[in-house]
Amino acid sequence: QKEVEQDPGPLSVPEGAIVSLNCTYSNSAFQYFMWYRQYSRKGPELLMYTYSSGNKEDGRFTAQVDKSSKYISLFIRDSQPSDSATYLCAMSATGFQKLVFGTGTRLLVSP
Amino acid sequence: EAGVVQSPRYKIIEKKQPVAFWCNPISGHNTLYWYLQNLGQGPELLIRYENEEAVDDSQLPKDRFSAERLKGVDSTLKIQPAELGDSAVYLCASSLSGRPDTQYFGPGTRLTVL
């Protein structure tokens, strides 16, 4: 079993929809949780960062962490075609330990 | 501010040939990472440097892969000899020490081994 599980998709939604992306993990020591966006043939780009539990909002993006369920989510409101990309979750136990990535979920937002 | 720079962006080689990738991190970032990303997968850490010291190289196949970070700035990752299974994207990233929220990736080098 992988430490971090993520549905690879693809997830297809119409423009304007609310998108929910999720990851589950098995290592209860994880405390740092990140979401990256990766466009085709580009490097991952950091979108959201959360330390420990709770919610964080940035514009149309909201990240949630539920440590009791070992479950993290990224919500995208009013999705746009430009949001079409692969979304990777990543997490680590401490600031000095390696990030463990999910496989990524491919999102397609159609006009 | 310039991001993480990698070169070359693409490389095609025959198996058993050597290949090298270069990375220039964001100025002031002490920590440098090399990741391997296979198609449809997330990045997997190969090696992490804190300044000049390799502090985590447990996933680096040391029989054919080597890396160095001269003067704690630029880094080179080398494969010798390359195998067909090494075809992947090699990503470099950098961050401030102990700050995963400051980790930024370069565009990657796409390696094809024929």
> Which residues partner with B18 through β-bridges?
none
* Range B40-67 average pLDDT: 93
Residue A95 in this model has a pLDDT that exceeds 90: no
Q: How far is the C-alpha of B65 from the C-alpha of B82, rounded, in Å? A: 9
Q: Which residues of chain B lie closer than 8 angstroms to A46, CB-CB?
A: 101, 103-104
Model confidence band, residue B87 (pLDDT cutoffs 50, 70, 90): very high
pLDDT at position A38 is: 97
Share of residues in chain B with pLDDT > 90 (%): 85
Mutate to test the interface with B, among A58, A96, A103, A105 (most CBs of B within 10 A): A96
**What is the β-pairing status of strands A105-110 and A85-92?**
antiparallel
Mean pLDDT of chain B: 94
Q: What residues of A are in contact with residue B57 (Cβ under 8 Å)?
A: none
Task: Give the residue-averaged pLDDT of A50-64.
Answer: 93
Tell if the CB–CB gap between A96 and B97 is shorter than 8 Å: yes
More confident residue, A97 or B49: B49
pLDDT band at A36 (very low <50, low <70, confident <90, very high): very high
Find the mean pLDDT for residues A10-28: 96
- pLDDT tens across B5-17, in order? 999 999 999 999 9
* Mean pLDDT, residues A52-65 taken together: 93
Burial class (CB in 10 A: 0-12, 13-18, 19+), B113: buried
pLDDT for B92-104, tens place per residue?
999 999 888 889 9
Write the residue in B48, B98, B108 that is nearest to A95 by C-beta. Answer: B98
What is the C-alpha separation between A72 and B86, in angstroms, rounded? 32
B68 close to B76: Cβ distance less than 8 angstroms: yes
Asked if B45 reaches chain A (Cβ–Cβ under 8 Å), the answer is yes
- Select the residue of B48, B99, B108 nearest A98 (Cβ to Cβ): B48
Across the interface, whether the CB atoms of B43 and A103 are under 8 A apart is answered no
pLDDT band at B1; cut points 50, 70, 90 = low
Q: How far apart are CA A3 and CA A14, in angstroms?
A: 32
B98 inside 8 A of chain A by CB? yes
Among B33, B42, B104, select the one facing A46 at the smallest CB separation.
Answer: B104
Instruction: Choose the weakest-confidence range: A54-58, A78-82, B33-37.
Output: A54-58
- Look at A61-65, A77-81, A92-96, B39-43 and tell me which has the smallest mean pLDDT: A92-96
